Structure 1
């Protein structure tokens, strides 16, 4: 567990990812199963609709004292007073976010190639998303499929909290944590599950089992 990012199971959720239940129901069940931070990713909504959805989700996350991250929309993040924002290479840069938002808010930044670890955006970011560990249908614009060796390499190059995303589930969460990730980010494994609470619990169990075996 990273002292600057004590969250271990990170749910990335969107309405289109929720197969069996509405978004808020999936989020509630996932939290009860062990998810301890949630990112709302809605790429295709207008800002006004995104804000309404974020407000509804934040009521739930506040109830459970779970931090809410907004994906790639600073206006929405500000409107709902989110815990933080997550951005990639083609989004608003972390340096600009720092200038426009409360300096105490968390900024996540996706690492898609090693050279990013030397740029000023990574320096400004609070935590880094390793995206993707394994390629996934939920994110089609990927640059590098990192795999286990990629996580190990990045871990040697930065002390910032690392969040692994990309086909994460109970079957691989343990080895990802052992490779050096601090947190597992999950989309489909939970959102498309018939049993989101049970699925989250199983992944969290694997994280706990292996978190002290980091290499």
Structure 2
């Protein structure tokens, strides 16, 4: 049985995390309440992805927090990661599922209601919906959808959703009100002077929104 908590979904960025590194950022963020960690590094080759991924896996051991690898199915398999996240222009989700088997978590980025409706819950475990706002960490992103767009797309999706794109701690309440199960953050934790405190603040906002 796949169990995962989308509440505080940390997407690692190698540039933003360069001060203390992705592994230490992830370790501290999990101590602060991050519930999922995604390794996203568009510039790394597969050997670098595997090296970083294995170090992350070791750092997360015993925490119960899943490690998701963005876009690179081969690296995810080599790392023995807990899951993979693919975008609309990455490997087709059905092919990714065939490669990773039934047990790994598979996430998919969706930007429109039509794409959300097309999601097959026997293939996809969760969707990342956005960008809610414009974000510098993904310069080629689609048109921001805002919380109204988020609510519409969440209601069209047959699987749990996490909101992504320019999200900060203070957006937790509106994101959950729109139906998301959590928020995916990059710069709200990566590159912050205290990633543990940053994650704790987000976790606190999520808790408040659920109260």
Into which bin does the TM-score normalised by the smaller protein fall? over 0.9
* Partner SS state of residue 188, structure 2: helix
Q: Which residue of 2 aligns with 1:100?
A: 99
**1:22–1:6 distance in 2 versus 1, CA, 3 Å:** closer
Counterparts of 1:123 and 1:141 in 2: how far apart (Å)? 30
Query: Does structure 2 conserve the Cα–Cα contact (< 8 Å) formed by 1:9 and 1:37?
Result: yes
> Which residue in 1 is equivalent to 2:63?
64
Residues 1:124 and 2:126 are matched in the alignment: no
Deviates more, 1:164-173 or 1:128-137: 164-173
Instruction: After superposition, give the CA deviation of every residue in 1:142-190 in whole Å (9 maximum; x if it has no partner).
Output: 2231111011112322241111111111221111111111011110010
What residue number does 2:26 align with? 27
Question: Which ranges in structure 2 are unaligned for 5 or more consecutive residues?
Answer: none
Quick one: distance in 2 between partners of 1:150 and 1:211? Answer: 21
Alignment map for 1:128-143 (pairs within 5 Å): 128-143=127-142
The 3-state SS of whatever aligns with 2:61 is helix
Using the TM superposition, give the Cα deviation of residue 90 of structure 1 relative to its aligned residue in structure 2, in angstroms: 0.8
1:5-84 superposed matches below 5 A:
5-84=4-83
Q: C-alpha distance in 2, partners of 1:26/1:179?
A: 29
- In the aligned structure 1, how far is the partner of 2:121 from the partner of 2:165? 20
| 5+ residue gaps, structure 1 | none
Q: Distance in 2 between matches of 1:167 and 1:68?
A: 21
Q: What is residue 113 of structure 1 aligned with on the other side?
A: 112
Is residue 33–residue 203 contact of structure 2 (8 Å, CA) maintained in 1?
yes
Q: Separation in 2 of the partners of 1:117 and 1:35?
A: 25
Q: Helix, strand or coil: the match of 2:114?
A: helix
Q: Deviations over 1:78-116 (max 9, x none)?
A: 001111100101100110012222112111000122221
Q: 1:42 to 1:124 in 2, by over 3 A?
A: same
TM-score by length of 1: 0.91
SS of corresponding position for 1:63: coil
More deviation in 88-97 or 12-21? 12-21
Normalised by the size of structure 2, how large is the TM-score? 0.93
Classify 1:37/1:178 alpha carbon distance in 2 versus 1 (closer, same or farther; 3 Å).
same
State yes or no: 1:183 paired with 2:145: no
Q: Is the 8 A contact 1:113 1:144 kept in 2?
A: no
> Once the 2 structures are TM-superposed, how far is the Cα of residue 19 of structure 1 from its aligned partner?
4.8
Q: Structure 1 residues 23 and 191 mapped into 2: Cα distance closer, same or farther (>3 Å)?
A: same
Aligned length: 210
SS in structure 2 of the partner of residue 27 of structure 1: helix
Aligned-residue CA RMSD (Å): 1.8
